[in-house]
Amino acid sequence: MKFLKTVSSIALATSLAFTANSVLAKKDETIKVGVLHSLTGTMAISETTLKDTVLMMIEEQNKKGGLLGKKLEAVVVDPASNWPLFAEKTRELISKEKAEVIFGCWTSVSRKSVLPVLEELNGLLFYPVQYEGEESSKNVFYTGASPNQQAIPAVDYLMNELEVKRWVLAGTDYVYPRTTNKILEAYLKSKGVADEDIMINYTPFGHSDWQSIVSDVKKFGKTGKKTAVVSTINGDANVPFYKELANQGISAEDIPVVAFSVGEEELSGIDTKPLVGHLAAWNYFQSVEGKENAAFIKQWKKFTKDPKRVTNDPMEATYIGFQMWVKAVEKAGTTDTDKVEQAMIGITAANLTGGVAVMNKNHHLSKPVLIGEIQDDGQLEVVWETEGLVAGDAWSNFLPGSKDIIADWTKPIKCGNYNRKTKKCSGQEY
Amino acid sequence: MKPFIVNTIILILGCWLSSALAEGTAPTMPSSTSSTSTNVQTAENIAPLLTALTKAKLSKSAKILVQLEQTGGTAMLPLFEQMLNGKLYYQRADAQIIYQVKDSNDTKQYFDIFSKAPLGALDSSLVKKIRVNSKLRTHLKNTIARIQLNHGNDEERLHAVIKLTEKLTQASIDELSAALKTEVNGKVREAIEKAIALYQLQTSEDTPSKLIAIAALSGSLDSKVRNALLKLVEKNSEGKYIEKDRKVRVAVQAELKRIDGRIKIFGFIEKMFFGLSAGSVLLLAAIGLAITFGVMGVFNMAHGEMIMIGAYTTYGVQLLMPNFMEYSLFVAIPAAFLVAGIVGMIIEATVIRHLHGRPLETLLATFGISLILQQAVRSFISATNRPVVTPEWMSGSLEINPIFSLTYNRIYILIFSLIVFFLLLTILKKTALGLHVRAVSQNRAMAKSLGIRTAWVDSMTFALGSGIAGVAGVALSQITNVGPNMGQDYIIGSFMVVVFGGVGNLFGTLVGAFSLGIANKFLEPATGAVLANILVLVFIILFIQRRPKGLFPQKGRAAD
């Protein structure tokens, strides 16, 4: 009897192993795409949308017949808005799940957390959010805006079109606003703005009591010179900030606010009537008319089964990144990181707002920059756009430390941190 | 007359679409002919301008608007107003200018801008919006002000004068002076006279007229007056006064000293108000915890989520009564109290009761509950924030003078927090439930032996604390985000206030909340918001070291 038990258990084990083997064989026929966006925790509010976008793109690509004759398979993990967990999940995606590419991250701190893992395991990440720049990794493609594709054009607009003379740089206290404001301060001073005409203010995450700050801004703007607020305030804290502005009677005509973190998604959680006329600078707005955009919006509403869902800039950046990756893989004929990385440079993809985006040698995109005004229906309407494409700068020209540094991932430089003066590559410093 | 002609010209220009629609417009025309009168010449000039407006780039629109004002005058007012509101459209087919109104069913109805003839609900592909940006909006507001200066009612005329005072030019002064001659309303006259005096102060060259202007403006706290005065005492690059006459400078300096004195006083009052208002938010958030943690001694980490539930209830109530937004908060307050109270009762019955006397485990369990509640909201409602509408009566501010105004939402919340506080105090001090709560919290065994149903009292107390947190959520939904994380922002502040004020003492919570709020707001201008928070926290830690039982420790045997 005991013998029988052993035999049967062995048989069972072999058959199990066999099925496992065949499952593995089948899985080999797909190309795995890692999706590294927080689905729980603080950042879920923004990042779930991007997870859905990637899933939608994969579904569409599979309908077209997949890639290199194989189907794409999404591997979704949840780093739960926990920065160290981002690194762990990246390791899991690359080593265990064998993901060929990862679409993910939102905050800069999460990106910084996954960088060492990506470089150690030679993975590939597409990062779709506007950020502070001062970085270029061989293993990352930055499809969101760098400061010269968002902040600088916005300041130019205020300076030239609205004749703003006094500046409030308000931001949440973390790396993106601090670096962006440093760049902006240097830029404004280079344009001849005096020290006393610049006011810089930082607030904690989720700050909700804006009474004294808005009251200070109001006083700052009462000297007779046109004043504007350049806001790098992080998503959530914007609602009480704008509410306080409206309540204290500051309209967009008195003191316009231009924001870099407020898009359609954030506005869908606010009653926007008091905000009409305030500005946002992005590379994409849902309201832009065009065939590609209309099709994309339609597809998105169908995919999410929600006719009221809005699209936003990081979604477009994800879309462009995905299209580019598909093209690069087709061009390289493989999903091998090094080959795809080289194939990526020079690849173009259609913008949803018309025209094409180009991937540059520094792993940043050339894209158009749009300035929009908030409307009472929560949409943003374009009031100004750059003439042509603006090439993303990995290293800002307005910071003393990074003036001479460029990133160039083609031969002979092949470096993300190359000093043109000393002709030295400092490697990647984090 | 003009609307009629404009309409006719547009109709002639128009293609089949507009002629089909014109059947609707025709009968209404005679009525509009009598309203205004102008000549055919003007109307012929306006039609091409209107067409140009539909085609213009944003940067070119201002020029066309100036021409429209010059040729069209008063009759263009509806066009300017609708454009300012962003409701001005044109028909793609024939460039007929129309405006959009949303009817009660939220469908977009269109009307001719001049004749007001209804065109029905046009398909969005047939119409295009005439775009406007903030530069144009400023321009439009000034244009409207110029027109209304002579044609508006009292309030509109006053508003027009204030608008024109923002940027005074010789042209606008001429217009204001002309208006002054026929103006009968005292307030408007006063505003115009001030504007003229201000212009005199800014531009005149001779001493007497400057002194007259300073005297006329004396007592005004308007920032424009202060800026103009400051200009008169500026020094040039060599350190010499630009204004040569000493008499003027002395008068200006005396006036500036007076204004700055007022600014200081009102600045202080303003800071006090900001502090009290920040304190009222802390008080609202902490007061529920003062009961569950302070009186019952339960470490309730899910307290913030009770606030969140209250805020989401507000959102739900507003969804149910979209046509009565103004009253939605009055329904939301009892609703939030009930919903949060019931959730609290369930938590008490299923978890907290079984962990009685084990504070560490209670802390961990309630922390788990808070995570579960947050994720439940994310999964079943949405991960994104929900828009809660602020009723009209809570928006805007009460302007006391040009340098001091109080926002209505903060005033109401301050009053509301005090009402809630004293209501709660009455419940604890004057009702049977309050007596039982105090008895149970002071000596459970004794209370039980005297026949008090302690389990029932526990349940009611926890429900009361949770319900009040829910009510706080209604108030907080008016000033901050309503989202799954909102409770997290208040839990630390609440514990801080309760511990600082003295556990188990409601008055301590009141004093603690307001003193922390005021301290924060007085520190903030000097240190920035981030450092102010840290300093307050450090202060509390040091304070607790000295007085572990808070500001108002409980005394007597009950304290042990």
Q: Label each residue of chain A as H, E or C.
A: CHHHHHHHHHHHHHHHHHHHHHHHHHHCCEEEEEEECCCCCCCHHHHHHHHHHHHHHHHHHHHCCCECCEEEEEEEECCCCCHHHHHHHHHHHHHHCCCCEEEECCCHHHHHHHHHHHHHHCCCEEECCCCCCCCCCCCEEECCCCHHHCHHHHHHHHHHCCCCCEEEEEEECCHHHHHHHHHHHHHHHHCCCCHHHEEEEEECCCCCCCHHHHHHHHHHHHHCCCEEEEEECCHHHHHHHHHHHHHCCCCCCCCCEEECCCCHHHHCCCCCHHHCCCEEEECCCCCCCCHHHHHHHHHHHHHHCCCCCCCCHHHHHHHHHHHHHHHHHHHHCCCCHHHHHHHHCCCEEECCCCCEEEECCCCEEEECCEEEEECCCCCEEEEEECCCCEECCCCCCCCHHHCCEEEECCCCCCEEEEECCCCEECCCCC
The pLDDT value given to residue B41: 56
Q: Is residue A203 part of a domain?
A: yes
A65 contacts A326 by C-beta, under 8 angstroms: no
Determine whether the interchain pair B407/A207 forms a contact, defined as Cβ–Cβ distance below 8 Å: no
The pLDDT value given to residue B558: 53
Which of A7-16, A200-209, A293-302, B488-497 has the lowest average pLDDT? Answer: A7-16
Q: Which DSSP state fits B387?
A: P
Determine whether the interchain pair B223/A223 forms a contact, defined as Cβ–Cβ distance below 8 Å: yes
Q: Is residue A169 part of a domain?
A: yes
Q: Which DSSP state fits B219?
A: T
Note the residue count of chain A: 430
Is residue A16 predicted with pLDDT exceeding 60? Answer: no
Per-residue pLDDT of chain B (560 residues; tens, 9 = 90+): 444 444 544 444 443 433 333 333 333 333 333 344 444 556 677 888 888 888 888 778 888 888 888 888 788 888 898 888 888 888 888 888 888 888 777 788 888 888 888 888 888 778 888 888 888 888 888 888 888 888 778 888 888 888 888 888 888 888 888 888 888 888 888 888 888 888 888 888 788 888 888 888 888 888 888 888 888 888 877 777 877 788 888 888 888 999 999 999 999 999 999 999 999 999 999 999 988 887 788 888 999 999 999 999 999 999 998 888 889 999 999 999 999 999 999 999 999 999 988 889 999 999 999 999 998 998 888 777 788 888 888 888 888 888 888 999 999 999 999 999 999 999 989 999 899 988 888 888 888 999 999 899 999 999 999 999 999 999 999 888 888 888 888 898 899 999 898 887 888 999 999 999 999 999 988 888 889 889 999 999 999 899 888 888 876 555 54
Name the residue facing A269 among B134, B386, B488 (closest C-beta).
B386
Q: Which DSSP state fits B354?
A: G
The pLDDT value given to residue A235: 66
- Among B60, B138, B281, B385, the strongest candidate for a mutation testing the A interface, having the largest count of A CBs within 10 A, is B385
Determine whether the interchain pair A249/B397 forms a contact, defined as Cβ–Cβ distance below 8 Å: yes
Report the alpha-carbon distance of residue A70 to residue A85 in Å, rounded: 30
Residue A261 belongs to domain with CATH number? 3.40.50.2300
Asked if the peptide bond before residue A84 counts as cis, ω within 30 degrees of 0, the response is no
Report the alpha-carbon distance of residue B225 to residue B534 in Å, rounded: 39
Chain B residues whose CB is inside 8 A of the A209 CB are 274, 277-278, 281, 479
Determine whether the interchain pair B274/A222 forms a contact, defined as Cβ–Cβ distance below 8 Å: no
Collect all residues with Cβ–Cβ distance below 8 Å to B329 and sequence separation of at least 6.
B314, B391, B394, B474, B478
Determine whether the interchain pair B134/A253 forms a contact, defined as Cβ–Cβ distance below 8 Å: yes
What residue numbers bound the domain in which A261 lies? 148-282
Q: What SS3 state is found at B353?
A: helix
Residues 200-229 of B with CB under 8 A from A: 223-224, 227
Report the complex ipTM.
Answer: 0.78
A31 contacts A72 by C-beta, under 8 angstroms: yes
Q: Which residues are A171's β-sheet partners? A: A202, A232
Name the residue facing A40 among B86, B378, B399 (closest C-beta).
B378
Report the alpha-carbon distance of residue B275 to residue B278 in Å, rounded: 5
Q: Is residue A140 part of a domain?
A: no
The pLDDT value given to residue B529: 85
The pLDDT value given to residue A28: 57
Report the alpha-carbon distance of residue B288 to residue B290 in Å, rounded: 5
**Any A CB within 8 A of B401 CB:** no
Is residue A144 predicted with pLDDT exceeding 90? Answer: yes
Report the alpha-carbon distance of residue B433 to residue B410 in Å, rounded: 32
Inter-helix orientation angle B170-182/B186-203, to 10°: 150
The pLDDT value given to residue B361: 92
The pLDDT value given to residue B556: 59
By C-alpha distance, the chain A residue nearest B221 is A222
The pLDDT value given to residue A214: 93
What is the distance in angstroms between the Cα of B399 and the nearest Cα belonging to chain A? 9
Number of inter-chain CB pairs under 8 A, A vs B: 135
H or E segment and range at residue B88: strand B88-91
Q: Is residue A247 part of a domain?
A: yes
Q: Please return the burial class of B316, using the count of CB atoms within 10 Å of its CB with bins 0-12, 13-18 and 19+.
A: middle
Higher-scoring residue by pLDDT: A242, B310: B310
Determine whether the interchain pair B529/A213 forms a contact, defined as Cβ–Cβ distance below 8 Å: yes
**Beta strand A370-374 pairing with A365-367:** unpaired
Residue B144: which of B72, B215, B213, B96 has the closest Cα? B72
The pLDDT value given to residue B269: 93
CA atoms within 13 A on the CB side of B304: 23
Chain B residues whose CB is inside 8 A of the A174 CB are none
Chain A residues whose CB is inside 8 A of the B390 CB are 243, 271
Q: Which DSSP state fits B384?
A: S
The pLDDT value given to residue B273: 94
Q: Is residue A251 part of a domain?
A: yes
**Beta strand A227-232 pairing with A356-359:** unpaired
**Which tokens go with A49?**
């949308």
* Reported pTM: 0.80
B210 contacts B200 by C-beta, under 8 angstroms: yes
Q: How many domains, in total, are found in chain A?
A: 1
Q: What SS3 state is found at B464?
A: helix
